[in-house]
Structure 1
């Protein structure tokens, strides 16, 4: 600092405006000399009260504060980068899980659809079989009803024929013929 003040004093003494004043330089009537002396006194007072050191200390404190702020900002930035990367990682994991859930849901839906188709086919087959059994049963009932009606008709016809025959011998021969006729028709 002393070197700086010495250099400043020499520069002030050798300055161009001071040399341009009229009359002798080292005279109290010369304003340039008075200004130079005042300036040197001002610099001396500043050095005596250690103002440059205080200003330097304040600047150092400010630089240290700025350095701390920069370090804090750097630390916060690194934390933010870590948090951001963890969120990106979580987002990728969640996206992967979502894709797996969608894929599982599709597989389950396809499985349920296939099962529903099979159940529907089985239900249709059961209903068709039940309908065929009903048709078969109805056919059997109809055949049985027709046979019963045929037997009744045959018996009625046989009774009528028997009633028309007058002789006892013919009756037993006619009866045998009618029974053979009924047996033949039923088979």
Structure 2
């Protein structure tokens, strides 16, 4: 086989190629045709087309597997995305509920605080009124006590001047009892 290839290489040189009959070694077209057929024969002898076909089949299987994997990953990504959107909607709903609850609680707390403030103001007003009435009653009592003391002092001075010493003690006792009855 090697001898045949060497022989064809020597016979296929450009010096031998010339114009003339087609089946002549001097015709370049004939030489090229024979060289091509020998090349194809060598390729077939060493089963190069089946090797190339096998490589192409393996490559096609690899591509098919990659496409299947890509399709599977795409479906998984779509499921994850749908799950994410669903969770996002749930979280948004929960957030809306939390905000609504917070608003309701804030309004309730504000109403309670207003009510507590009203009650506190009412208690303070009542305490202030009680203090005022207590101070008023203390002032009235103090004025009354002062008036009693002044009346007693004035009565004893007047009686002391008008009455003699014997009648003095009986008249004083009567005057004191009379003043005490009038005040109470």
TM-score > 0.5, shorter chain as reference: yes
State the partner residue of 1:69.
Answer: 66
Q: 2:154 aligns with which of 139, 144, 157?
A: 157
TM score, norm. by length of structure 1 = 0.76
Matching residue of 1:26 = 23
Q: 1:185 deviation in Å?
A: 6.3
CA-to-aligned-CA distance 1:91-150 (integer Å, 9 cap, x gap): 221222122222222222222222122112111111111111011011111111111111
Q: Which has the higher contact order (CA 8 A, sep 6+)?
A: 1
Indicate yes or no: 2:92 matched with 1:95: yes
Aligned pair 1:129/2:126, yes or no?
Answer: yes
Judged with a 3 Å threshold, the aligned counterparts in structure 2 of structure 1 residues 166 and 72 are, in CA distance, closer, same or farther, namely closer
Give the alignment's Cα RMSD to 1 decimal: 2.8
Alignment equivalent of 1:114, drawn from 102, 111, 116: 111
Unaligned stretches of 5+ residues in structure 2 = 1-17
Could you tell me which of 33, 37, 43 is aligned with 2:34?
Answer: 37
Q: In the aligned structure 1, how far is the partner of 2:118 from the partner of 2:29? A: 119
**Aligned equivalents of 1:168, 1:157: Cα separation in 2:** 17
